Amino acid sequence: MDDTSLLITANNLRDLQRKSTSILIQINKWFIANGLSLNIEKTIAIHFKSYNLKDSPFPISYQDTEIKEVTNTKFLGISLD
């Protein structure tokens, strides 16, 4: 399987962090049940927010590995930032 993308929304950073961790646990269970694997070393997070919100890191970790937060990425050949 190639890349998988998730869109997670929340009203604040604390909820975003909590929901992200919970969803990673659920998606990994689904992957395992379907003979797939989650490569946490290649997993990244990008935070899309309103311009009026200040930049605040929202560390997400899974299986004792912190997910790298990036400010831009390439998705289906399109650069997102």
- Asked, for residue 4, whether it belongs to a domain, the answer is no
Rounded to a whole number, what is the largest CA-CA distance in the chain? 43
Overall domain count for the chain: 1
Please determine, for residue 64, whether its predicted confidence score (pLDDT) is greater than 70. yes
Q: CB-based contacts of 75: which residues, under 8 Å, 6+ apart?
A: 5
Distances in whole angstroms, Cα of residue 48 to Cα of each of 4, 7, 43, 81: 18, 10, 16, 8
- Asked, for residue 1, whether it belongs to a domain, the answer is no
- Asked, for residue 5, whether it belongs to a domain, the answer is no
Average pLDDT rounded to a whole number, residues 51-72 = 76
pTM of the model: 0.72
pLDDT at 54: 66
- Asked, for residue 52, whether it belongs to a domain, the answer is yes
Report the distance separating Cα 29 and Cα 25, nearest Å: 6
The parent domain of residue 42 ranges over: 13-80
Structure confidence by residue, pLDDT tens digits, 29-59: 999 999 998 888 888 888 777 766 666 666 7
In terms of DSSP bridges, do strands 44-46 and 73-75 run parallel, antiparallel, or are they unpaired? unpaired
Mean pLDDT across the chain, nearest whole number? 81
- Asked, for residue 2, whether it belongs to a domain, the answer is no
- Asked, for residue 29, whether it belongs to a domain, the answer is yes
